[in-house]
Amino acid sequence: MAQITAAMVKELREKTGAGIMDCKGALKEKEGNLEEALVFLREKGLASASKKGGRITSEGLVASYIHAGGKIGVMVEVNCETDFVARTDGFIDFVNDIAMHIAAAAPVALAREDVPAEVVETERGIFRTQALDSGKPEKIIDKIIVGKIEKFFKESCLMEQAFVKDTDISIEDFVKAMITKTGENISIRRYTRFVMGEGLEKRSCDLAQEVADQLK
């Protein structure tokens, strides 16, 4: 495999505006071929997306999704730069897809930095206990915990979750593709997910899986 240098990553980043890790990954995927890596980033919707990341998003849409039977409800605010884009069918469909994903995937936070520290520490403690109980050597337990915490973030944080309608991409990829398509910066600002009877003693029911199954 061709060696991926910092200069190659820099050149690809300057041409596409994609993130450093995205550029490095694309170059690895295409074995150092700059032009093929550029095409790869465009196909994934990553090229030029990050260049728009600093632009103000003061328009957008608040959408809701109610699961059949009223068992799960979601409200989400997604921002863009202009009212023109916010009113397009493509943007409306995009926001509705985000709302449905939240209903199905039940993220605990928008991004990993939004996960409360106490939640992370609780998960870390659980992973440590599991590793010890399984008889894993003490010297590798910390590495195991790091890997499990990383997996927890990917499964629990909205921007890192696999999109329920296309599990080959993350929600972050889905947003970047929309940025490329519209030419505007787009951001998911906030969301709220309601589950009927949450916190009350009721029969156990995996409603999130039920929604996910219906979206397939």
Whether the Cβ atoms of residue 47 and residue 24 lie closer than 8 Å to each other: no
Cβ pair 164, 101 in contact under 8 A:
yes
**What is the three-class DSSP state of 2?**
coil
Answer yes or no: is pLDDT of 36 > 60: yes
- In angstroms, the CA 178 to CA 186 distance is 8
Model's pTM, two decimal places? 0.65
CATH of domain 58-111+157-215: 3.30.479.20
3-class secondary-structure state, position 185: coil
Architecture of the domain delimited by 116-155:
Orthogonal Bundle (1.10)
Tens digit of pLDDT for each residue in 80-125? 988 899 999 999 999 999 999 999 999 999 998 898 889 888 998 8
Among 47, 103, 75, 105, smallest CA distance to 189 is for 75
165-191 exposure pattern, b = at least 16 Cβ within 10 A, e = fewer: eeeebbbbbbbbbbbbbbebbbbbeeb
pLDDT at position 1, please? 57
**58-111+157-215 and 116-155 in the same fold:** no
For residues 107 and 65, give the distance between their C-alpha atoms in angstroms, rounded to a whole number.
15
Domain ranges of the chain: 6-48, 58-111+157-215, 116-155
**Per-position b or e across 99-126, b if 16+ CB within 10 A of its CB:** bbbbbbbbbebbebeebeeeeeeebeee
Under 8 Å CB-to-CB from 170, ≥6 apart: which residues? 159, 160, 161, 162, 163
The pLDDT value recorded for residue 208 is 60
Looking at residue 46, what is its pLDDT? 59
| Per-residue confidence band for 204, with pLDDT thresholds at 50, 70 and 90 | very low
The fold of the 6-48 domain, in CATH, is: Helicase, Ruva Protein; domain 3 (1.10.8)
Cα distances from 109 to residues 64, 75, 112, 165, in angstroms, run 18, 14, 7, 20
- pLDDT tens per residue, range 45-74: 655 555 555 566 678 999 999 986 889 999
Whether 151 has a pLDDT exceeding 60, the answer reads yes
